[in-house]
Structure 1
Amino acid sequence: MSDPHSKPTVNHEAERAVLAALIRNPDGKDIIRLGIHADLFTNLSVKEAFSGVCRLIADNVQPDPATLRNALSQAARIEYETSMSVHVSAANLAVWVTLLKDCERERRCVASRDWLTKAIDARRPADEIRKLFDDLEALQQPTVRRSTFSPLADLLKAPPAENWLVDGFIGEDSTNVIFGDSGSGKTFVTIDLLCHVAAGLPWRGHDTLSGPVMYLAGEGQNGIIRRFKAWFEAHPGHEDAIHNVLIRTVPAAIGDPVAVAAIADEIRGMPVKPRAIAIDTLARNFGAGDENSTRDMNQFVSGLDALRVASGAAILVPHHSGHGEKSRGRGSSVLRAAIDAEFLVERSEQRITVRCMKMKDADEPAPLSWLLTRQDLPWCDAKGRPLNSAVLVPTEAGQSGTFEEKSRLPAAQRIAVDALRTALIRDGIDADGVVTVAEDQWRQACYSAGISSSDKPDSCKKAFNRARQDLVANG
């Protein structure tokens, strides 16, 4: 027997009523204002008709029998005609949408219960199970219209909570820009941060909240995949975190309300919401607008907000520096005014440094630096040649006046010094506060860093020996 107290998960009449109302009054603003999205519909033919109507509205085409005939399958056309014959008014659209949202919420509750059961049976990490509990509890809360105002006296009873995705750097439910020149290492920093979250690892000593992450790759998809592979090759033992990373390999027009609504719908349908969403880069995912236009940038920011609200995630946006002013991101100042934190990425040879340029409601964290280090991959190209990428290896920030800078070392010696630092970090043995590393491990680090322009073993060996001897001779 079915549970007499269970809530309905489907309402076919409401689905047809919403479809008919949108055809009779095709206003894209109503779709956004009421939060109408494809996952509200369970009837596949009605869903197809709804998507067709949205496409026509986005193209400024009136949805009518003539335009829909070529856009829909026969089954969807039957649903469209039935909906129009049964529902002759668009007056109660908001009421029908509310009914559909109630059904969709109940479907999500059912899915969340299933995911929670599977997570417990699979003995997933406690914080992941706790988030599933929290998500389910939030879904089960009754929808009550409450005042949008709160008495200040209530708000001052306790300090507001500081909820960090990466402690002191990236807040939960926040919008962040990571900007720098082309080739500065923005994507490497973003991938490194995302993978630490996916694996539940501290990022440069700062605690993280573990969970799924999403990466919207607007360019260089093959290179992006190699960079993610390189990270996991450089961090063995965390292969399970691969399942926490979702990648989209086509650009997303975040400035287009219809396009961003489709992505937000997809996120809302996920049983476990992402902790972080990276949109790399702003330019490739901006859409048809102009970055310098206040109106278009406002639309882009609204798109970011829609993804943030749908997920509760931290939004990360790698972005290019301004053409003349390198200390700010390119385009309209609307973006910087709207975000919670902003980070500048700079590169000097193989050293990549991140500096906080804005932290809205907390102290600015200290700069962080890494060495960009070659990482061999267990793959070959179509001609059998080995593939490689690079990873970030932590190092100290702000090392102006170091030995290599004071002495203006030749390139091979600088590579050898950086490779020694890398080997000490990766393979060093600490004995009474003194860290040492085997010469062979230093040599291999130099080979990976490209100390020789040739890949021949004998050339690499000679280049390493010359650099080592010169460094010893120079003291």
Structure 2
Amino acid sequence: MNSSVTAISTTLAEVDALPVTRLKVELEYGSTGYDREQSFVIKGLLPEQSFVSMYGPSGSFKSFLALDWACHIASGIDWDQHKVKEGAVLYVAGEGGFGVTKRVRAWEIRHQGANLDNLARLGVPVFPANYDQVELVVDYYNDIKAKTGQDVKLIILDTLARCYGGNDENSSKDMGAFITGCAAIQQLTGATVLVVHHSGKNVESGGRGSSSLPAALDVEYRVSRDGEDQQALVLACSKMKDSDQPEPKAYDLTSVHIRTDSDGDDVNSLCIIPVGRPPSDDEAPPINTPRWKAYHTALWQSARSRTETNAPVTYALIRDDLKALGFDIKHYARWMEKLVDEGALIRDGEMVSMGQISLEKGES
């Protein structure tokens, strides 16, 4: 396969026309299926066939965490007492693969040579907004399945910025094309798609760019440093669509010696110790915020995205954003009133600004 990176020129209309297969399924009535258990790749953390984002600032160890999850799934080893469903993983290292190889070797040494034959790495970005690239990912999926004999359970895109093709992260149109492409990958492969993403200027306000991304997610995690001087991270869930949100936990990293170079110097890499503990940071991410429906979350995220990018934040513009996302806005005034009453937003006539609530607990 040709792994060269080509320029992307696509429109949302072209992506909406992707040939995604739609199968007629049986109707269900009443509460049928209420006792059906949700399936997970990592139980309680990473649902199967879901769209997930893990965001945080540079240096927050988010890529270390994503790769640690990948290695545990590929090897079938449980992660911090969470059961893991073994399978193949495709890790797209869009920012280059040299550092990733050292991290993988450190993981192997730390876990006493655990088998990672099910872990496939790609050292160049892919661009879901381009359907030719979606088909390329499906080709990789088929190659991996043929080589390992395992279904691909997880596809990681690290990072969104490198797999975005130079488009505008703040554009709902461009983000919509990226989301649609990820959905196509998810549907065509049956894998969970995990996007590693950078946070905005205010880490507590969520991932960078258009609010249409968090609105489309099944699961969203925030990763931050546990204190400025510690080699540790805090993992906090800000959205878990169909299950209970896990409590925030801190995870320490340790240095692992992987080899000695030609000058006789040690070469080391960090590796996560998957044993959670309470965060030591007094400003651990809040999660006990009011329960919102999907339209409340999308409204709040529209205001947040506009604020972070210094765009106008008005009652009418947020309403237009929700309409563009496909929401029926006839009850928009009521939605806005709820968030203002709860202190999540502040309204002064036509102008809207952010309130005190920094993370939503969405429910859709």
Q: In the alignment, is the contact (CA less than 8 A) between 1:180 and 1:326 conserved in 2?
A: no
> What is the one-letter code of the residue matched to 2:205?
S
Which structure 2 residue ranges, 5 or more long, are not aligned? 1-12, 283-364
Residue 131 of structure 2 is matched in structure 1 by 257
1:76-475 to structure 2, matched below 5 A, reads 147-148=24-25, 150-153=27-30, 156=32, 158-238=34-114, 240=115, 242-268=116-142, 270-271=145-146, 272-347=150-225, 348=227, 349=229, 350-380=231-261, 382-393=262-273, 394-399=275-280
**CA–CA distance in structure 2, aligned partners of residues 371 and 30 of structure 1:** 43
Q: In the alignment, is the contact (CA less than 8 A) between 2:176 and 2:212 conserved in 1?
A: yes
* CA shift in 2, pair 1:157/1:221, >3 Å: closer
Which structure 1 residue ranges, 5 or more long, are not aligned? 1-26, 36-144, 402-475
Q: Per-residue deviation at 1:368?
A: 2.1
**CA–CA distance in structure 1, aligned partners of residues 272 and 210 of structure 2:** 31
SS at match of 2:173: helix
Greater share of helix: 1
Q: Per-residue deviation at 1:268?
A: 4.0
Superposed CA offset, 1:93-132 (max 9, x none): xxxxxxxxxxxxxxxxxxxxxxxxxxxxxxxxxxxxxxxx
Look at both structures and tell me which one has the larger radius of gyration over its CA atoms: 1
**CA–CA distance in structure 2, aligned partners of residues 310 and 386 of structure 1:** 44
SS at match of 2:268: strand
**CA–CA distance in structure 2, aligned partners of residues 388 and 157 of structure 1:** 50
Q: Per-residue deviation at 1:281?
A: 0.5
Superposed CA offset, 1:33-62 (max 9, x none): 277xxxxxxxxxxxxxxxxxxxxxxxxxxx
Residue 41 of structure 1 is matched in structure 2 by none
Greater share of strand: 2
* CA shift in 2, pair 1:358/1:383, >3 Å: same
* CA shift in 2, pair 1:395/1:265, >3 Å: closer
> What is the one-letter code of the residue matched to 1:263?
V
**CA–CA distance in structure 2, aligned partners of residues 199 and 226 of structure 1:** 17
**CA–CA distance in structure 2, aligned partners of residues 353 and 261 of structure 1:** 35
* CA shift in 2, pair 1:361/1:267, >3 Å: same
Q: Per-residue deviation at 1:310?
A: 2.1
SS at match of 1:152: coil
Superposed CA offset, 1:300-333 (max 9, x none): 1111112211221111111000123533000001
**CA–CA distance in structure 1, aligned partners of residues 64 and 277 of structure 2:** 17
* CA shift in 2, pair 1:230/1:339, >3 Å: same
Q: In the alignment, is the contact (CA less than 8 A) between 1:253 and 1:288 conserved in 2?
A: no
TM-score, normalising length from structure 2? 0.67
> What is the one-letter code of the residue matched to 1:321?
S
TM-score, normalising length from structure 1? 0.52
Q: In the alignment, is the contact (CA less than 8 A) between 1:177 and 1:316 conserved in 2?
A: yes
4+ long deviations beyond 4 Å? 27-31
SS at match of 1:192: helix
Q: In the alignment, is the contact (CA less than 8 A) between 1:264 and 1:306 conserved in 2?
A: no
> What is the one-letter code of the residue matched to 2:29?
L
% of aligned pairs identical? 33
**CA–CA distance in structure 1, aligned partners of residues 68 and 59 of structure 2:** 16
Residue 103 of structure 1 is matched in structure 2 by none
* CA shift in 2, pair 1:149/1:342, >3 Å: same
Residue 291 of structure 2 is matched in structure 1 by none
**CA–CA distance in structure 2, aligned partners of residues 379 and 280 of structure 1:** 28
Alignment length, in residue pairs? 262
* CA shift in 2, pair 1:379/1:257, >3 Å: farther
Q: In the alignment, is the contact (CA less than 8 A) between 2:15 and 2:181 conserved in 1?
A: no
**CA–CA distance in structure 1, aligned partners of residues 33 and 132 of structure 2:** 41
